[in-house]
């Protein structure tokens, strides 16, 4: 079997698990475990369907890095819970999910899936770093369109897109990005900067939507090319030139915010799937939290790959 690396956008998946499994699923002590069970079933489905030999759960050690906020203050601002004006930003997470996040992390660790985060960076940046120069085919599992910028047929990097649900997973390749948006995957970050993204608090350039952004990129190649053309007054209408030049301050920082970091100083873990190493610890954990069936499904899926 050909080696293949799967990179999990962990938060994207456990939020989906939380909202996809009834909150009535609880541990013997009453603690909600719907997201834990859902996440384990997601892992089982992904491993069974796509048969990766290596899996890494990429983690948001900082879901809203200050260096991105310094550049664009509105970045993810709508997701912040105001607790203390002088305190750190806290992401709005439902209480029944928050209590499950450590259990999800422990479940993954017991399955032998390394959990990797990097200080002051999002999971996207960890994914970008591990996907770049991986030396083997890569599947990125996410519901976040921002990661389309990493798609690269030549390097065998694709996205398994979860936005329509786990029963309607979509494999995103270069061709799919072009068909959806009219831009190359390599242009996607510039496209997103121009268009903006309300889900991330990115304003975009006023008056420029998806079609206009795609047209500009088709004509001028990339954002620097678009800006240069606007400054010269060539290849675009006076009105479009005014939109681009009027957003100069935003466009000077947006690419840095949107671009996934690909060169973090982080050690690549041994991510090869293996049968559960400590069966007694895994069984005790699964029994304590009432997730034995789901854990076994994930463990059996992994055993089917490694056996």
User: Two tokens at 147?
Assistant: 């990661």
Do 71 and 56 share a structural domain? yes
pLDDT at 199: 86
Convert the pLDDT of each residue in 160-211 to its tens digit: 999 999 999 999 999 999 999 999 999 999 999 999 998 899 999 999 999 9
With beta carbons less than 8 A apart as the criterion, state whether 32 and 18 touch. no
Confidence of residue 234 (pLDDT cuts 50, 70, 90): confident
Do 282 and 156 share a structural domain? yes
Percent of the chain with pLDDT over 90: 90
Q: Mean pLDDT in the chain? A: 94
With beta carbons less than 8 A apart as the criterion, state whether 152 and 187 touch. no
Convert the pLDDT of each residue in 106-119 to its tens digit: 999 999 999 999 99
Do 161 and 103 share a structural domain? yes
55 vs 174: CA distance, rounded Å: 23
- The interaxial angle of helices 223-232 and 188-195, nearest 10 deg, is 60
Confidence of residue 89 (pLDDT cuts 50, 70, 90): low
Do 226 and 291 share a structural domain? no
The 3-class SS string of 120-188 reads CCCHHHHHHHHHCCCCCCEEEEECCHHHHHHCECCCCEEEEECCCCHHHCEEECHHHHHHHHCCCHHHH
Do 168 and 194 share a structural domain? no
Confidence of residue 80 (pLDDT cuts 50, 70, 90): confident
307 within some domain: no
If 0-12 CB within 10 Å is exposed, 13-18 middle and 19+ buried, where does residue 255 land? middle
With beta carbons less than 8 A apart as the criterion, state whether 169 and 161 touch. yes
For the four alpha carbons of 175, 177, 181 and 187, in that order, the dihedral sign comes to negative
Q: Provide the domain limits for residue 277.
A: 5-182+270-299
Do 190 and 174 share a structural domain? no
How many domains are there within the chain? 2
305 within some domain: no
242 within some domain: yes
Q: From 164, 127, 171, 121, select the one nearest 5 (Cα to Cα).
A: 127
304 within some domain: no
265 within some domain: no
DSSP bridge partners of 58: 9, 116
**E strand spans, the chain:** 5-9, 54-58, 80-81, 90-91, 115-116, 138-142, 157-161, 170-172
Q: How many Cβ atoms from other residues are within 10 Å of residue 90's Cβ?
A: 15
- Please determine, for residue 262, whether its predicted confidence score (pLDDT) is greater than 90: yes
131 CB contacts (<8 Å, ≥6 apart)? 5, 7, 138, 140, 150, 157, 262
59 within some domain: yes
With beta carbons less than 8 A apart as the criterion, state whether 107 and 97 touch. no
Do 223 and 92 share a structural domain? no
78 within some domain: yes
- Please determine, for residue 281, whether its predicted confidence score (pLDDT) is greater than 90: yes
With beta carbons less than 8 A apart as the criterion, state whether 110 and 282 touch. yes
CATH of the domain at 85: 3.40.50.1010
With beta carbons less than 8 A apart as the criterion, state whether 185 and 151 touch. yes
Do 127 and 154 share a structural domain? yes
Do 213 and 132 share a structural domain? no
With beta carbons less than 8 A apart as the criterion, state whether 305 and 52 touch. yes
- Could you tell me what percentage of the chain is helix, strand and coil, using 3-state DSSP and rounding each to the nearest 5? 50, 10, 35
Confidence of residue 86 (pLDDT cuts 50, 70, 90): very low
Convert the pLDDT of each residue in 55-67 to its tens digit: 999 999 999 999 9
With beta carbons less than 8 A apart as the criterion, state whether 144 and 12 touch. yes
CATH of the domain at 245: 1.10.150.20
263 within some domain: no
Do 174 and 69 share a structural domain? yes
Do 111 and 40 share a structural domain? yes
Do 243 and 116 share a structural domain? no
- Please determine, for residue 92, whether its predicted confidence score (pLDDT) is greater than 70: no
């Amino acid at each position: 079997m050909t080696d293949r690396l799967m990179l999990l956008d962990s938060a994207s998946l456990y939020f989906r698990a939380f909202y996809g499994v009834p909150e009535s699923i609880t541990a013997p002590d009453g603690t909600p475990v719907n997201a834990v069970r859902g996440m384990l079933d997601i892992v089982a489905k992904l491993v069974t369907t796509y048969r990766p030999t290596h899996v890494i759960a990429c983690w948001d050690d900082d879901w809203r890095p200050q260096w991105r906020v310094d550049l664009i203050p509105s970045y993810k601002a709508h997701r912040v819970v105001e607790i203390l004006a002088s305190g750190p930003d806290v992401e709005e997470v439902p209480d029944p999910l928050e209590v499950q996040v450590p259990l999800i992390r422990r479940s993954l660790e017991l399955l032998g899936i390394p959990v990797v985060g990097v200080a002051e960076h999002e999971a996207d940046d960890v994914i970008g770093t591990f996907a770049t120069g991986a030396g083997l085919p890569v599947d990125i599992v996410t519901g976040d369109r921002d990661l389309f910028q990493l798609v690269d047929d030549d390097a065998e990097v694709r996205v398994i897109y979860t936005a329509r649900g786990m029963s309607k997973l979509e494999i995103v390749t270069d061709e799919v990005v072009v068909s959806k948006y009219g831009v190359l995957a390599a242009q996607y970050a510039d496209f997103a900067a121009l268009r903006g993204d309300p889900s991330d608090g990115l304003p975009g350039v006023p008056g420029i939507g998806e079609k206009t952004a795609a047209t500009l990129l088709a004509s001028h190649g990339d954002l620097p090319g678009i800006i240069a053309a606007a400054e010269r007054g060539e290849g675009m209408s006076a009105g479009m030139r005014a939109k681009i030049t009027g957003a100069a301050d935003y466009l000077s920082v947006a690419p840095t915010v949107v671009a996934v970091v690909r060169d973090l100083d982080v050690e690549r873990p041994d991510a090869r799937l293996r049968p559960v190493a400590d069966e007694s610890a895994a069984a005790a954990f699964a029994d304590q939290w009432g997730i034995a069936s789901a854990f076994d499904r994930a463990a059996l899926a992994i055993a089917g790959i490694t056996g």
